Amino acid sequence: MNEEDIRLVLKRVAAGELSVEEALERLNVLPYEALGFATVDHHRALRWGFPEVVYCEGKTPQQVAEIMARLAARHPRLLGTRATREQYEAAAARVADLAYHETARAIWLDREPDRPRQAGVVVVAAGTSDLPVAEEAALTLELMGHRPRRIYDVGVAGLHRLVPHLTALRRANVIVVVAGMEGALPSVVAGLVSAPVIAVPTSVGYGAHFGGLAPLLAMLNSCATGVAVVNIDNGFGAGYLAAIINERCANAAEPMPKEKEAHHDA
């Protein structure tokens, strides 16, 4: 149930078309729904404009299926990250229109595919091995109503590959940069643009890379300004943050309503 649904329920109560008891029954899943093994936060969509995202790793296929079914009954868009195909198949047996993104390892649902999407976000990946994380970020953005531009395989080992994309990078409101190995690409990009850069270290690299710790520390120690860093392999977190920033940019472009001037007696 989203904000518009709640408004409709309240209007029907005010018009006498719905009793208070019936309204309470419809609203009884707010702010959450207890399943025993999970507590589904239906209130998340009201706070953020997007329902609770399911982290599937560590959950059984049956648990993922139950949570997805409860969410799908009330929301037009869903996302489950770090999902296996087995978890997807269990969930799809309960929710027929679910889809699986093989590269992003994500279960997703979009019952409003033709709604307008907002440009302004660029997702950059250093190498092809970073694509699972980059695609997780891009899918998150798409489901949240944005249209990310993808620029892939432009890492610092061949920096000339990045140069043709400078115009697109400089027009962006926010940029997500995904990189493993030494993690230098976010600093390079941030040094070329005026938009905020969200850096995502990945677990791609050889031994001294320490499973993503080396690029994480490199990104945290960036000398470029305007760089924020999320956790290792957290494409979802980067995409979510980029969506919030891009949405705020769009709202800022709209004229603010004038505040009434305060008049004080002499």
Strand 106-110 relative to strand 121-125: parallel, antiparallel, unpaired?
Answer: unpaired
Q: How confident is the model at residue 249, as a pLDDT?
A: 85
Question: Which position has the higher pLDDT, 46 or 97?
Answer: 97
95 and 132 fall within a common domain:
no
The residue among 83, 110, 137 that closes a domain is: 110
Q: How confident is the model at residue 265 (pLDDT cuts 50, 70, 90)?
A: very low
| Residues 76-102, mean pLDDT to the nearest whole number | 94
106 and 134 fall within a common domain:
no
Let me know if residue 247 belongs to a domain.
Answer: yes
CATH number reported for the structural domain that contains residue 249 in this entry: 3.40.50.1970
Q: Which residue has the tokens 């005010």?
A: 14
245 and 174 fall within a common domain:
yes
Q: Domain containing 217: what range? A: 121-253
* 255 burial type by CB count under 10 A (0-12 exposed, 13-18 middle, 19+ buried): exposed
Let me know if residue 74 belongs to a domain.
Answer: yes
Let me know if residue 5 belongs to a domain.
Answer: no
Let me know if residue 20 belongs to a domain.
Answer: no
126 and 226 fall within a common domain:
yes
Residues in the chain, overall count:
266
* 111 burial type by CB count under 10 A (0-12 exposed, 13-18 middle, 19+ buried): exposed
The residue among 110, 140, 169 that closes a domain is: 110
Q: C-alpha 90: how far from its chain's center?
A: 23
91 and 140 fall within a common domain:
no
Q: How confident is the model at residue 264 (pLDDT cuts 50, 70, 90)?
A: very low
The residue among 85, 110, 135 that closes a domain is: 110
> Is the full-model pTM beyond 0.85?
no
Q: How confident is the model at residue 123 (pLDDT cuts 50, 70, 90)?
A: very high
Let me know if residue 15 belongs to a domain.
Answer: no
29 and 125 fall within a common domain:
no
Question: Which position has the higher pLDDT, 48 or 151?
Answer: 151
Let me know if residue 6 belongs to a domain.
Answer: no
164 and 213 fall within a common domain:
yes
40 and 129 fall within a common domain:
no
Question: Among 43-57, 87-101, 109-123, which stretch is predicted with the lowest mean pLDDT?
Answer: 43-57
164 and 226 fall within a common domain:
yes
Angstrom distance (rounded) from CA 26 to CA 150: 41
Let me know if residue 8 belongs to a domain.
Answer: no
Closest CA to 5 of 38, 30, 35, 37: 30
| Residues 175-194, mean pLDDT to the nearest whole number | 96
Angstrom distance (rounded) from CA 86 to CA 92: 10
Structurally, the chain folds into a number of domains equal to 2
135 and 220 fall within a common domain:
yes
Q: What percent of the chain has pLDDT over 90?
A: 64
Phi/psi at 201 (5° precision): -75, 140
| Residues 37-50, mean pLDDT to the nearest whole number | 68
For residue 77, pLDDT beyond 80:
yes
156 and 229 fall within a common domain:
yes
Tokens of 164: 């043709």
Let me know if residue 58 belongs to a domain.
Answer: yes
| Residues 68-78, mean pLDDT to the nearest whole number | 87
79 and 102 fall within a common domain:
yes
